[in-house]
Amino acid sequence: MTVPWWKQPGRVDRVRTRAVVVGAGVAGLSAAMHLERRGIRPIVLERHRVASGASGRNAGFLMRGAAESYAVACDELGRETARHAWRFTEENIRALRDLGVALTPGYRDRPSCLLALNDAEAHDLERSASLMAEDGFEAPFITTGDDDAWKNASPLCGLVNPHDAVCDPQEVMTLLASKLDAEIRTNAEVAAINTSPDRVEVVTHDAVFEADIVLLCVNAWARTLSPALAKLVEPNRAQMLALDAPGAKLDMAYYANEGGEYIRAGEGGVVLVGGCRRFDIEAERTLADEATESVQSGIEAFAERVLGRRYPVLRRWSGPMGFSPDGLPIVGRLSELSPGGTAETRGGPVYFCGGFTGHGMSMGHLTARDAVEYALDDRPMPWSISRFSGRSPG
C-alpha cells in the first residue's frame, strides 16, 4: 500500500495503557467488558472489524456442551471435568441472556438436539443421557419427532438440550461492543509483541502500545502471534451455507454425526447448515477464508437428507476455528508453557484466552471472565494453560 503525504512514513504513536486486548470477537469483547468491570479500560486492537473472525461467521447455536458427547467427555476428560464443562456452558448462555442477548432480533429460545444417524452414535447418546441424568442435568432422550429432520433423516434417537437458544452472532457482537467504554481500534493488526518481565509492547503499523497486561483473544490466529501456542491451537476452517427454504420445518437446532454437521432454521424461511470438514480434513486445517466445492457439496447433501429436498443456496461462507488438544478452552499466561528461559521466550505478562474448538459462543464470554480474573488476581481456573506446560514451541 502506498503512503499519502499526510501520513508521514515512519511516524509511530506511542500509547501507554494498562491493558491491551487483541481481537474483537466474543472472547476479546468479553475480556474488555470484564476488565472494565474491574475498573480497567483497555484498548482493543482488531485487524479487521468487530466480529470479522469466527464470532461473526458462526451458526449461532448457543448450546450446552463441548466438542464431544457427554459420554465421550466423561471417558476422555473425567466425570468431574465433563460435568463442570457442561455446567459452565449453561452458565455462559445465562450470562449472555442477562446482558440482553435475548432481546436481539435474531435470538430465539430453541432446544438443540444431538441426532444419532447410526448405531454407534445411538449407543453413545443413550449412555450420555443416562450419565447426564445421574449428574443432575435435564436431558430428554427422544426417539420420535414430527419435523423434517425426523421424517427425512430417520434418526435412531436424539438427546435434547432443552434450555438452549439460537442467535444472530453479528447482532450479539454488536451488543457486546455497544456495552464497552473501551476504545476499539479496527484495521489495527498486531504485527509483533515485545516482552520484558513486567511490561509488554504491542506493535501495529502506526502505533506502539505499552501495557502492563496483554490478552490475546485471537483464537485460530494464535500461532501468528506466539510460537508457543502453535502446538496448542490448531486452525480449522468451518464452512456453512444459507438455504432459501420457506417450506422447511425444523423445530430444534440439530447436531448430527458427532457434531460434524449442524442445521437449524433461521429467520424468514432461511435454513442455516454447516459442517462436513471430514470431506477434506487436511485442506480444512487452514486460516484461509474460502468456500470449497468438496465441503460445500457435502453440506448440500446433508441438508437434502434432513430436509427431504434441495433448496436454492443463498450464500456460502467459511470461518476459522481454533482447536485445542483436549477440546476445552485454554486460558493462562504464556510463560506457564515454558517457565525457564528469558522474558522474550516466556512471553512476559501476556495471556491467552481461546481454543474453543467450535464452541466459543457457548463458552467464550465466561472464559474471558476467568482469563481476566486470572490475569488480575492469579485466581486458579479450570481451563488453565498449565495443563500443557512443557510442550515445546512449534
For ligand FAD, give the closer residue by CB, 122 or 254: 254
Provide the pairing of β-strand 350-354 with 207-216: parallel
- The CA–CA distances, whole Å, from 270 to 123, 166, 173, 209, 314 equal 32, 14, 21, 44, 9
- The CA–CA distances, whole Å, from 318 to 292, 296, 315, 359 equal 9, 10, 10, 15
Asked if 274 is part of the footprint of ligand FAD (rule: CB under 6 A), the reply reads yes
Asked if 65 is part of the footprint of ligand FAD (rule: CB under 6 A), the reply reads no
Using N-to-C axis directions, what is the helix angle for 70-77 and 119-134, rounded to 10°?
70
Question: Any idea what the Cα angle at residue 261 is, between residues 256 and 262, rounded to 5°?
Answer: 85
One-letter amino acid of 13? D
Distance, CA of 21 to CA of 41 (rounded, Å)? 10
Give the total residue count for the chain. Answer: 394
Maximum Cα interatomic distance, the chain, rounded to a whole number of Å: 69
Distance, CA of 295 to CA of 282 (rounded, Å)? 12
Distance, CA of 380 to CA of 84 (rounded, Å)? 15
Asked if 347 is part of the footprint of ligand FAD (rule: CB under 6 A), the reply reads no
Asked if 354 is part of the footprint of ligand FAD (rule: CB under 6 A), the reply reads yes
Distance, CA of 246 to CA of 265 (rounded, Å)? 10
> Which listed range, 93-101, 276-284, 317-325, 333-341, lies at the site for ligand FAD (CB under 6 A)?
317-325
The residue within the footprint of ligand FAD, chosen from 21, 43, 60, 300 (CB under 6 A), is: 60
> Which listed range, 100-108, 143-151, 319-327, 383-391, lies at the site for ligand FAD (CB under 6 A)?
319-327
Distance, CA of 90 to CA of 367 (rounded, Å)? 13
The residue within the footprint of ligand FAD, chosen from 335, 362, 370, 371 (CB under 6 A), is: 362
For ligand FAD, give the closer residue by CB, 147 or 189: 189
The residue within the footprint of ligand FAD, chosen from 61, 86, 254, 279 (CB under 6 A), is: 61
CB atoms closer than 10 angstroms to residue 207: 16
> Which listed range, 96-104, 129-137, 211-219, 304-312, lies at the site for ligand FAD (CB under 6 A)?
211-219
Q: Is 365 exposed, middle or buried (0-12, 13-18, 19+ CB in 10 A)?
A: buried
> Which listed range, 9-17, 40-48, 136-144, 290-298, lies at the site for ligand FAD (CB under 6 A)?
40-48
The answer to whether residues 104 and 165 touch, using CB atoms and an 8 Å cutoff, is no
Non-local (6+) Cβ contacts of 87 within 8 A are none
Cβ 54 to ligand FAD shortest distance, Å: 4
Cβ 309 to ligand FAD shortest distance, Å: 24
Cβ 78 to ligand FAD shortest distance, Å: 23
Q: Is 362 exposed, middle or buried (0-12, 13-18, 19+ CB in 10 A)?
A: buried
The residue within the footprint of ligand FAD, chosen from 145, 155, 298, 319 (CB under 6 A), is: 319
Asked if 23 is part of the footprint of ligand FAD (rule: CB under 6 A), the reply reads yes
Segment 133 to 192, residues that bind ligand FAD, using CB under 6 A: 189-190
Asked if 47 is part of the footprint of ligand FAD (rule: CB under 6 A), the reply reads yes
> Which listed range, 47-55, 78-86, 149-157, 297-305, lies at the site for ligand FAD (CB under 6 A)?
47-55
Binding mask 74-113 for ligand FAD (x = CB under 6 A): ----------------------------------------
Helix (H, G, I), strand (E, B) or coil at 36: helix
H-run or E-run covering 79: helix 79-98
> Which listed range, 57-65, 107-115, 125-133, 302-310, lies at the site for ligand FAD (CB under 6 A)?
57-65
Cβ 47 to ligand FAD shortest distance, Å: 4
Segment 240 to 269, residues that bind ligand FAD, using CB under 6 A: 240
For ligand FAD, give the closer residue by CB, 221 or 311: 221
Q: Where does this chain bind ligand FAD (CB under 6 A)?
A: 22-28, 45-48, 52-55, 57-61, 63, 189-190, 217-221, 224-225, 238, 240, 274, 319-321, 354, 356, 358-362, 364
